[in-house]
Amino acid sequence: MTEAELYTVYKGVYVPTHLHPAESLKFYEEFSFRPDDIIIVTYPKSGTTWMQELVPLIMSGVPWLEVHRAYILNLEERPSPRMFATHFHYNMMPTSFFKVKPKAKVLYVMRNPKDVFTSSFHYYGMASYLVKPGSQTEFLHKFLEGKGVDGLYPLKC
């Protein structure tokens, strides 16, 4: 399948339509952050799950803010401090993220881009909701040009 068949362009970045239908992106846009919220921000395949396990040894059930089931989990009603995860870039954050004072705490995780590329290449090969990666060379060009899911790999914070 092609990018047009599997992805939605959200704020200039491909996101899998299967995980991010219109209602979940609407929920994400309207989500209200609190000053004591904790947001784990990672590029895919950069240690997200690892961070979700390390940080919240006492907390459980860390939801993804932008995926299709987030809007049915009553996240607004969760007691503080809340913890969420996202792969969305800084410029994709909802308006409330920039308005909450003091700012919510952000844990930004980066991983060696070579490792991210290798992990992504294999993940694309097995995930049914992603375009098949093609050869490593083809996938490398897409990865370096930011034409895959989640856009260009961030080389700086």
Residues noted as catalytic: 87
Exposure letters 17-53 (e unless 16+ CB within 10 A, then b): bebbeeebbebbeebebeeebbbbbbbebbbbeebbe
Contacts by 20-29, CB closer than 8 A, 24 or more apart: 20/66, 20/67, 20/68, 21/68, 23/68, 23/71, 24/66, 24/67, 24/68, 24/69, 24/70, 24/71, 25/66, 26/71, 27/70, 27/71, 28/65, 28/66, 28/70, 28/88, 28/94, 29/94, 29/95
- Please state, in angstroms and rounded to a whole number, the distance separating the CA atoms of residues 59 and 82: 9
